[in-house]
Chains A and B, each alone.
Chain A
C-alpha cells in the first residue's frame, strides 16, 4: 500500500498543542489528517496494532507504570492492562532473551531499550539469537520481534550514551534496520514492523520525538526498503537517515541561498536499503554526499558510496563525500559535541567540495 508523504515541516518547533496530549490521542484536524508528534505517532501505531492483534505485548524498563522514559508508551498500560504492557528489571540481556523466546512461541513482543546504547548487554540475544533463529531452525521458528528506542546523540549525554547503531546492526544478516526521520514515516514503518515475521531494530531519536506532522487518520503502512525524497533538487544528492535528515534539510536551505540545489533522499530503512532511489537521484545530480550519525569506518555512507560508485560510475562528477560523527568518543563539552556530530555546517562544506563551489 502506497501513501503519498504529506508535506513535512522540518523546522517546526515543538508545539504545545501536542505536548499535553501525549499518548495515542491526537488533535484531529479534519481533511482526514491529525497532528502528531513523532513519539505519539509510534505510540499510535503500536496501540492500533495491539487492538488488531492480541499477541502484541510491550516490555521494557519503565514502559508501563512510568509511561516510558520518553513517554512513547504513554497510556498503553491503562488501555491494554498489565498482561500486555510489562515493566522489566534493568536487565537488557534478560528481557531481550525473554522476548526472543516469546516471539518464537507465538507472541509478537515490542521491547523498548531506554536507549539503544543500553542494547549492548543484549548483543548476544540480538545477534546470535534473534537474527539467526529462523535460519538455524530451517524456518521452524520465526522471531517477529520489534526492538525500539532512541538512537544517536542526545543533548550532551557524552561518550557512552551517544551511539548511533544503524551501521552496527545493518552489518548482520537477519535483522531489519528501520531509522525514520518523521512522524509519518515512523508510524507507517512501525505498522509494517508489527505485520511481518522478522526481528526489527527500530531506531528512534530523542531529539526528534517532539517533531510534528499532519498525518493521515486512516490506516497506512510504509514498506521496508522504500526510500523517500525529502527535498527535490538537481545539483547534489544528500542521503541521510534519522536526525541527519533534518540537518541535511537545514544545510540544503542554506546552500540554496548560494544557488546549490540539493536533493535530500531519506532511505527510511537502512536494511533493506533503497539503493535504486539513491542511484536514480545521483544519475540526475551527478554528486553524492552521505550523512549519518554513525562513525565513518564501515558506516552506512561507506556502503552507499560503494554501491553508487558501482552502479553510477559514469554518472559521477565528483567522488562521493561522507559526513559522519567524527571518530572520537563523544565529548561532553557542547562546542565539541557540535563539531563531532554531522551538523549542517559540516554537510555544507561537504556539498561545496562535491560541487567544487
Chain B
C-alpha cells in the first residue's frame, strides 16, 4: 500500500509553507508520530509529525522549497519492493495542479455573488423600524436620481434601480418614477402601497364552514418574520407597575374643559421621554457586540393601520411640550393611515410605546422592536377600589408593563425606570413644565 505524505496545514490560516528541512531520507522506516520534517508556516517553524507509518519510497520536495498545503511531498510504502512509478506520476500531476495558483496567485476567488438584499416595499418595511435596503445601491453602478425623484420613489415604493432615467446622463427624473409607478414596472417585491385584493369568502364544501385563505401581504410577512426573530432571539422579561391615575385623569379633564386636545398617550410619551433621559440603559440599541446608548429620546409610537401596524417616531420627545407631542403624534398617525410616512419618520427610534388603553384592557405585554431594548405596553385607566389611609375608597389605576432585553437591561434597571415613570405620571404637573 502506498501512502502520500501531504504538506499539512499547521495553522488555520496557512495556505502554503516552506519545507525547511527533511528529518527522513528514502529507505527510512517511519513510525506514526515521528518527526519527519520542519515546516515554516505563515507564523512559525513547526515540526511535522507523521500520521502514517511505512518505508520512505521517494521524497518529492527539497529543503527550502515553498509548497502549497496538500502538496504531495513524499510516498510511504508498506510492502517491500512495491512499484511507485504510477503513484509518483500521479503525485506530480496533483502538485502541478496545486502549484498553479501558488506560482501566480490567482485573483482572490471571485466572491460568491452577493445576494441582493431582500426587497421590501417601503410601507412593508415600515411595519417595524427595519432599515430599508439602500434604495440606490446597485452593485457596480450608482443610481442617479434627482432629489424629488428619490422622494417620489420612496412615497410610491418604486425601486430606483429598475427605473430608466430620461434626464441628462441618464438621471432619473420625477416623470420617470411616476411612469414606472403607473405601469408597475419597478415596484419593490410587491405593491405594498396598494391594498391587497379583498379576499372573497369561499365555501370549501357545500356543507362545510365558510373559510378563506388570505394571502400574506408583504407587511404581514415582515411583521411575522421580525416579531418571531424578536421573541426567539431576545431574552425578554417583563416588569409591571400600577400607577395611581386620579391626577392624570383630572389633568386631562381640566385640559379638555379648556378645549386643549391632550390624550393620556401624549402625557405618556412625554413622561417616558423624561424617564428615559434619567435611565439611559433603556434608551439604547442592542448591536450584537455592543450596546449603543442614545442621548435623544426618540419615541416610536405603535399605530394600528388597516393591514398591520407601524411605529412613527416622535423625535427628541424630551425637548417637546405635551401639546407639541400630541400634535405630532396625531399628524404622524394620520400620515400612517394614509400610507404617506417618509422612511425617516418611522425608521430608527430608541424606545417604543404600545398603547391599547383606548380598548379599556387591564394589562398586556408587548414584543420588543429590535434593535431597541425595551417597549412599554400601556393599558387603560380603570376605576378600582383603592386603600387609602386604611379605608377602601374609589380610585383610578393604570397598568403599564415594560418588556426589556435582558442582554442589555437588568431587572433593577427596568424597575428603576418604571419607578421614575410612575412618579412623573402620579404628579403630572411635572410633565407640563
Instruction: List A residues at the B interface (Cβ < 8 Å).
Output: 286, 313-318, 356
Contact = CB atoms under 8 A, between A and B. Distances in A.
B167 A315 contact: no
Contacts of B166: 356
A317 B168 contact: no
Contact of B173 (A313, A314, A315, A356): A356
B167 A356 contact: yes
Contacts of B174: 286, 317
Contact of A318 (B150, B151, B167): B167
A286 B147 CA distance: 9
B147 A316 contact: yes
Nearest to A353: B168
Contacts of B151: 314-315
29 contacts: A286-B146, A286-B148, A286-B174, A313-B147, A314-B147, A314-B148, A314-B150, A314-B151, A315-B147, A315-B148, A315-B151, A316-B146, A316-B147, A316-B148, A317-B146, A317-B147, A317-B148, A317-B149, A317-B167, A317-B173, A317-B174, A318-B146, A318-B167, A318-B173, A356-B166, A356-B167, A356-B168, A356-B171, A356-B173
User: For B146, B150, B171, which residue has the most chain A Cβ atoms within 10 angstroms?
Assistant: B146
- Nearest 10 CB-CB pairs, A to B? A317-B146, A356-B167, A286-B148, A317-B174, A314-B147, A317-B148, A314-B151, A315-B148, A316-B147, A317-B173
A316 B145 CA distance: 10
A306 to B, nearest CB: 15
A220 B117 CA distance: 63
Interface in B139-184: 146-151, 166-168, 171, 173-174
Given A317-B173, A318-B146, 4 more contacts: A315-B148, A315-B151, A317-B174, A318-B167
Contacts of B149: 317
A350 to B, nearest CB: 13
A356 B171 CA distance: 10
Contacts of A318: 146, 167, 173
A356 B149 CA distance: 14
Nearest to B154: A314
A118 B148 CA distance: 45
A286 B148 CA distance: 7
B167 to A, nearest CB: 5
B417 to A, nearest CB: 37
A317 B149 CA distance: 6
A316 B151 CA distance: 10
A247 to B, nearest CB: 25
Contacts of A316: 146-148
Interface string B113-149: 0000000000000000000000000000000001111
Nearest to A282: B148
A212 to B, nearest CB: 39
B154 to A, nearest CB: 10
Contacts of B168: 356
Contacts of A356: 166-168, 171, 173
Nearest to A235: B175
A318 B150 CA distance: 12
A314 B168 CA distance: 18
Interface in B170-204: 171, 173-174
Nearest to B150: A314
A206 B199 CA distance: 71
Contacts of A315: 147-148, 151
User: For B146, B148, B151, which residue has the most chain A Cβ atoms within 10 angstroms?
Assistant: B148
A10 to B, nearest CB: 29
Contacts of A313: 147
A150 B167 CA distance: 41
Nearest to A313: B147
A316 B147 CA distance: 6
User: For A314, A315, A317, A356, which residue has the most chain B Cβ atoms within 10 angstroms?
Assistant: A317
User: For B166, B171, B173, which residue has the most chain A Cβ atoms within 10 angstroms?
Assistant: B173
Nearest to B173: A317
Contacts of A317: 146-149, 167, 173-174
Contacts of B147: 313-317
Interface in B194-243: none
A356 to B, nearest CB: 5
A30 to B, nearest CB: 47
Nearest to B342: A314
A313 B150 CA distance: 11
A199 to B, nearest CB: 39
A286 B171 CA distance: 15
A71 B150 CA distance: 55
A189 B151 CA distance: 39
Contacts of B148: 286, 314-317
A356 B166 CA distance: 7
A314 B149 CA distance: 8
A288 to B, nearest CB: 12
Contacts of B171: 356
Nearest to B151: A314
A216 B53 CA distance: 116
A318 B169 CA distance: 12
A160 B63 CA distance: 92
Nearest to B166: A356
User: For B147, B166, B167, B174, which residue has the most chain A Cβ atoms within 10 angstroms?
Assistant: B147
A343 B325 CA distance: 52
A317 B174 CA distance: 6
Interface string B350-385: 000000000000000000000000000000000000
A317 B171 CA distance: 9
A195 B168 CA distance: 50
A347 B344 CA distance: 37
A263 to B, nearest CB: 16
